[in-house]
Amino acid sequence: MDEIINRVAQSALTSLNLEELKHRGERVVYDIKDNLFHGLILREKDFRDFIKTHDWSQYDGKNVAIICSADAIVPTWAYMLLASKLQGHAHRYVFGGLDALEQELFHEAIGALNPEEYRDAKLVIKGCGNDPVPTYAYVAIMQKLLPVTSSIMYGEPCSTVPLYKRPKA
């Protein structure tokens, strides 16, 4: 009887699952429209009173997307003031919607990777998964790891799409 050999397990491939880089913290949207007078105007005195009395601890450890869903002109300093209060509470905060927040979280995670761990690796960047990974993250990981890997593929180790192979010197 012939022994079944798992060639994938024996290969020199290194797998990278971008799902594992996804920050698990809660994502929330802070909509500044709730601070507008009649849904149109940000009154400085009212806003500063709100800033002083609001319970900022409710954002502890969370990831916050700051938006204004109303068609109103909000001065830049108002967003800056919000940021000053989220600092020290939120894990991460950005101006923009949840997509902008997700991009920033992946940017942070990919930036923390040590490319030397992938030096000369034959890398498979895992494709399909349970948690969606934005296309941005796949492009960013290429930028980070192309200079050090010997090859990069996409998919699963048993079925990959070749993307890059370092030219022979």
Distance of alpha carbon 28 from alpha carbon 59, whole angstroms: 8
pLDDT in tens, 36-72: 999 899 999 999 999 999 999 999 999 999 999 999 9
On whether the CB atoms of residues 72 and 35 are closer than 8 A, the answer is: no
Report residue 53 as tokens.
């009395």
Question: What ranges in 67-159 are assigned the alpha helix state H?
Answer: 76-86, 98-112, 135-145
Going by pLDDT thresholds of 50, 70 and 90, the confidence category of residue 157 is confident
Which pLDDT value is given to residue 1?
Answer: 62
Place of tokens 């938006």: 67
Query: Rounded mean pLDDT of the chain?
Result: 92
Distance of alpha carbon 17 from alpha carbon 129, whole angstroms: 9
On whether the CB atoms of residues 21 and 109 are closer than 8 A, the answer is: yes
On whether the CB atoms of residues 126 and 8 are closer than 8 A, the answer is: no
